Amino acid sequence: MEAKELGFIDFFKAIPDHRGNRHKLHSVEEIMLVAFCGMIAGCDSWNDLELFGKTKLEYLRKYFPYKNGTPSDDTLRRFFRALNPEAFESCFTKWVRSFQIELSDKVIAIDGKTSRRSFDGDNKPMHLISAFASEFGIVLGQLKTSEKSNEVTAIPELIELLDITGSIITIDAMGCQAKIVEKIIGKGANYLIGLKGNQATLSEDVRLYFERKTHKKSFFTESEIDKGHGRIETRACTVTEDIEWLKKLHPKWKNLKSIIEVKSEREIKNNKSKETRYYLSSLPAKPDKILKAVRQHWGVENKLHWVLDMSFNDDQCRIRKGNAPRNIAIIKKTALNLLQIIKKEKPRISLKAMRKLAGWDYSFMDTVLMAKF
């Protein structure tokens, strides 16, 4: 079997090789294949990857020669610590673009996650923002920030890297900034952005308007009830386009068309909690569509962040030197995307179980490696 049959590897093998030619025992493709396969099969550390390569050498040679065997943990460690993460992320983004996902009217949730164990000495844990196509469970791209507060400057940079035409960009209140809205509109997308204390005057104006509802005919409401795992949650979404007064008071929000109130009431074992959230949007006042988009944004927590922690042990990962944490994050998200594609055909198998199966069954690993959207 020739390496060219591994379509996704073709997008990564063009990464400039930062190593000197002296004592170079493994090609970039050979190192990448061990890393990708090992991550798919449940590896969490450099030692895991080395052991995976040694025990699966016969399988790996179906794709590349590995004349010098598989790389050691030291080789893998040095390679990914020095690898340019921007170049690696660019290859990842190009690979995802090759899926040609139809994103028109689909939600792209942008949100950040800190890898808690990635701190190194005085360096803080790595914080990444990701763009997540919620309906498909696919990560579109990532960008590192120096700390959580820098999401505001990093989000426009991430948006610039993506093809988001026609999509709905959802961001929590951290991203409620006029410059971010302008970037989204400039890229041909719509926005639905949380509103909170970082825009205190605007937030208070919106809250009071919904509380008073002086023109009741201009408000549209949709409700839904969600049950499962001993939990009952009721959500009511109220939307209005009657906001000319708001545009005059706050003119910097480009293409602002509607404001939204979402009231949630959750009951778990007779314990009730209530929460009210407010949003700005360039979408028309269609509460059913907006409520769906809000729900899909919340999905970034349990379909991406929770999966990275529970299925990929992200918060427990001790890889923390140089560029390695950021590069390993791309490998995890590549593995996650491949498994999500396969999951469409095997919905009853969890991602964690799929990782185990890939390590046990060569034919299933082949299926994952050759997955196409």
Close Cβ partners of 264 (under 8 Å, ≥ 6 residues apart): 233, 234, 235, 274, 275, 276, 277
What's the confidence (pLDDT) of residue 151?
Answer: 86
Whole-number pLDDT of residue 75: 95
User: Residue 316's pLDDT is what?
Assistant: 84
Give me the percent of the chain exceeding a pLDDT of 70.
95
C-alpha dihedral over 297, 302, 308, 309, to 10 degrees?
130
Q: Are 127 and 148 in contact (CB under 8 A)?
A: yes
Q: Are 331 and 35 in contact (CB under 8 A)?
A: yes
Mean pLDDT calculated for residue range 90-109: 94
- Res 5: pLDDT: 56
Residue of higher predicted confidence among 317 and 173: 173
- Over residues 14-41, mean pLDDT: 89
Residue 100, classified by CB atoms within 10 Å of its CB into exposed (0-12), middle (13-18) or buried (19+), is exposed
Distance CA 281, CA 186 (A): 15
The answer to whether residue 101 scores a pLDDT higher than 90 is: yes
What's the CA gap between 154 and 284, in Å, rounded? Answer: 28
pLDDT digits (tens, 9 = 90+) for 280-312: 999 999 999 999 999 999 889 989 999 999 999
Six-digit token pair at 5? Answer: 């049959």
Residues 129/172, Cβ–Cβ less than 8 Å:
no
pLDDT of residue 270: 79
| Range(s) of the chain covered by CATH 3.90.350 | 93-310
The predicted pLDDT at position 35 comes to 97
Quick one: which of 205, 202, 175, 206 has its CA closest to 191?
A: 175
| pLDDT value, residue 3 | 44
> 226: which DSSP letter?
E
Q: For residue 121, what are the CA distances in angstroms to 108, 124, 125, 332?
A: 35, 8, 10, 24
Where does the pLDDT of residue 121 fall: very low under 50, low under 70, confident under 90, or very high at 90 and above? low
Q: Range with the lowest mean pLDDT among 9-18, 105-114, 116-125, 133-142?
A: 116-125
Predicted confidence (pLDDT) at residue 231 exceeds the cutoff of 60: yes
Say if residue 214's pLDDT is above 50: yes
Q: What pLDDT is attached to residue 148?
A: 56
2 — pLDDT class (breaks 50, 70, 90): very low
CB 257: neighbour CB atoms within 10 A? 17
DSSP-based three-state secondary structure for 225? strand
Q: Is 145 helix (H, G, I), strand (E, B) or coil?
A: strand
Q: How far apart are CA 115 and CA 148, in angstroms?
A: 12
Determine contact, residues 369/8, Cβ cutoff 8 Å: yes
pLDDT at position 20? 76
Backbone angles phi, psi at 56, to 5 degrees: -115, 20
pLDDT at residue 149, as a whole number: 57
Calpha distance 280→282 (Å, rounded): 7
Sheet holding 107-115, edge to edge: 138-145, 126-133, 107-115, 168-171, 190-195, 271-281, 258-268, 231-240, 219-228
Q: 165-204: per-residue pLDDT in tens?
A: 999 999 999 899 999 999 999 999 999 999 987 898 999 9
Cα pseudo-dihedral 40, 45, 48, 53, rounded to 10: 70
Judge whether residue 65 has pLDDT over 70.
yes
146 vs 166: CA distance, rounded Å: 30
Is 93-310 CATH 3.90.350? Answer: yes
Quick one: what percent of the chain has pLDDT higher than 90?
74
